[in-house]
Amino acid sequence: MKHFNVKFYPDGKEISVHSDATLLVAAGQAGIILNTSCGGRGTCRKCLVNLLPDGQEVLACQYHIQNDLKVIIPDASRFFEHKILETGISAKIKVEPTVCKHYLKIDSADAGTLEAALKKSRSNRIYELGPEITNQLSRLDKKTLANGITVLCHLLPDELSGCKPPKCKYTVVCLEKGDTTSEIFGLAIDIGTTTVVVKLINMLDGKCLATKAELNPQIQYGDDVISRITYAETDEHLAQLQKLIVGCINKLTAKLCKALSIDSAHIYEVTIVGNTTMNHIFLKLPVKQLGQAPYNAHSVDAHDLPAGKLGLKVNPAANVHTVENIAGFVGADTTAVALAVDIDSAKQMSMVVDIGTNGEIILGTKDELYAASCAAGPALEGARISQGSRAMDGAIEAVVVNKTDIGLDVIGNCTPVSICGSGMIDAVAVLLDLGIIDSTGRFVEPQKLKDKLSPKIMSRLTTQNSQPAFCLSDTSHAHQPKVLLTQKDIRQVQLAKAAIRTGIKLLQKKIGIEDMDIKCIYLAGAFGNYIRRKSAVRIGLLPDIPLERIQSVGNAAASGAQMVLLSRTVRAKAAKLARKIKYIEIAHEPDFATVYTDCMSF
pLDDT-derived band at 82 (thresholds 50, 70, 90) equals very low
Region 144-151 average pLDDT: 92
Report yes or no: 586 and 359 within 8 Å, Cβ to Cβ: no
Task: Answer yes or no: is pLDDT of 460 > 90.
Answer: yes
C-alpha 508/C-alpha 498 separation (Å) is 15
Ranking 84-98, 168-182, 572-586 by mean pLDDT, the lowest is 84-98
Among 309-318, 378-387, 475-484, top mean pLDDT goes to: 309-318
Beta strands in 426-558 (DSSP E): 461-464, 467-473, 483-486, 520-524, 550-554
CA dist 468 to 210, 342, 420, 441, 462, Å? 45, 46, 20, 12, 6
CA dist 512 to 105, 453, 508, 516, 517, Å? 64, 42, 6, 12, 10
Q: Report which residue type is found at 539.
A: I
Region 217-226 average pLDDT: 87
C-alpha 187/C-alpha 251 separation (Å) is 13
Amino acid 83: pLDDT: 44
Burial of residue 288, with CB atoms counted within 10 A of its CB: 0-12 exposed, 13-18 middle, 19 or more buried: middle
Task: Answer yes or no: is pLDDT of 473 > 60.
Answer: yes
Amino acid 110: pLDDT: 87
C-alpha 348/C-alpha 522 separation (Å) is 13
Task: Answer yes or no: is pLDDT of 11 > 90.
Answer: no
Amino acid 479: pLDDT: 57
C-alpha 197/C-alpha 175 separation (Å) is 30
Per-residue model confidence as pLDDT tens digits over 385-394: 899 887 788 8
Report the predicted TM-score, pTM, of the whole model to 2 decimal places: 0.84
Amino acid 489: pLDDT: 95
Q: What is the mean pLDDT of the chain?
A: 90
Task: Answer yes or no: is pLDDT of 358 > 70.
Answer: yes
Report yes or no: 273 and 189 within 8 Å, Cβ to Cβ: yes
Amino acid 87: pLDDT: 26
Amino acid 392: pLDDT: 80
Ranking 19-28, 67-76, 89-98, 527-536 by mean pLDDT, the lowest is 89-98
Amino acid 477: pLDDT: 54
**Domains of the chain, earliest start first:** 3-78 (3.10.20.30), 99-177 (no CATH), 185-332 (3.30.420.480), 334-378+493-599 (3.30.420), 381-484 (no CATH)
Q: State the sign of the Cα–Cα–Cα–Cα dihedral 43, 45, 47, 51.
A: positive
pLDDT-derived band at 45 (thresholds 50, 70, 90) equals confident
Per-residue model confidence as pLDDT tens digits over 531-543: 899 999 999 999 9
Region 74-102 average pLDDT: 65
Amino acid 327: pLDDT: 94
Three-class DSSP labels, 170-188: EEEEEEEECCCCCCCEEEE
The residues near 10 (Cβ < 8 Å, ≥ 6 apart) are: 72
Pick from 126, 117, 128: nearest CA to 150: 117
For residue 320, the SS3 value is strand
Q: Higher pLDDT residue, 93 or 297?
A: 297
Cα-based angle 37, 42, 43 (whole degrees, multiple of 5): 70
Task: Answer yes or no: is pLDDT of 88 > 50.
Answer: no
Task: Answer yes or no: is pLDDT of 158 > 80.
Answer: no
Pick from 485, 449, 445, 492: nearest CA to 469: 485
Pick from 166, 249, 260: nearest CA to 210: 260
Q: State the sign of the Cα–Cα–Cα–Cα dihedral 80, 12, 473, 385.
A: negative
pLDDT-derived band at 91 (thresholds 50, 70, 90) equals very low
Q: Higher pLDDT residue, 142 or 82?
A: 142
Amino acid 160: pLDDT: 63
Amino acid 380: pLDDT: 79
Amino acid 90: pLDDT: 31
Amino acid 163: pLDDT: 61
Region 457-477 average pLDDT: 88
Cα-based angle 515, 517, 518 (whole degrees, multiple of 5): 75
